[in-house]
Copies of this chain bind each other. A is one copy, B any other.
Amino acid sequence: MAASERTGNGGRPRNGGSASAGRPRSEEAHQAILDATLVLLSEVGFSALTVEGVASRAGVGKATIYRRWPSKLPLVVDAFGQLPAFEDADTGSLEGDLKAMLRQYLENFLATPLATVYPSLAAERAHNPALGELMDPLLKGRRRPLDAAFRRAQARGELASGIDIEMASDLIVGPIAVRLFFRGTTIHPDMVDGMVELALRGVRGGS
């Protein structure tokens, strides 16, 4: 899988364990390709991203790319894996944790052009189950600090233990995703606080 090819030892020969002579794959080229992919992704977006463009920007031949990734999609998935994710913040309260993490994530990733990879991959996975399987572990990992905050809150007794954390996490992330990607709205960092409060207290609870 692509995953095994980017697990640190990127410049590995094709056969992981068995005998392998010959020139090893260049780790430099590997990283240059991923970097170029991210740069181009933020410059022209996913649909205008061409493999030839990546090759040229990375200073490698096309074959060097196709030797590592079967197509443009897994390449972008791997590049996606190098993007900043949620960073755990343990402030002592659930509300504080969520606000801090969302602010950080917003400023470091969602507000950058790189964030457009997200809806592009979402669009593709709908008709490409293999892509979904490639993405899911990545997505899950990226969101882990969020789930951890909910679990800490439960441990503190701050949150009912019966709460469905997955659903709660969707409730926090969902509105931001919709605004950003579907409605094309920019989100001011200050708006994050209001959103978190609304999600925590509920629409009906009133502010």
Contacts and interface: CB of A to CB of B under 8 A. Distances in A.
A175 B181 contact: no
Interface in A30-53: 44-48
A136 interface: yes
A108 interface: no
A206 B154 CA distance: 11
Contacts of A198: 164, 167-168, 171, 202
Contacts of A179: 170, 174
Interface stretch (A8-16, A78-86, A119-127): A119-127
A111 interface: no
Nearest to A118: B182
A155 interface: no
A173 B116 CA distance: 20
Contacts of A195: 167, 171
- Interface of A (DSSP majority class): helix
Given A118-B182, A122-B181, A184-B132, A200 B207 contact: no
A204 interface: yes
Contact of A48 (B127, B170, B205, B206): B127
A178 interface: yes
A40 to B, nearest CB: 12
Given A123-B122, A167-B194, A174-B174, A206 B45 contact: no
Contacts of A124: 47
Interface of A: 44-48, 94, 115-116, 118-120, 122-127, 132, 135-136, 139, 158-160, 162-164, 167-168, 170-179, 181-184, 194-195, 198-207
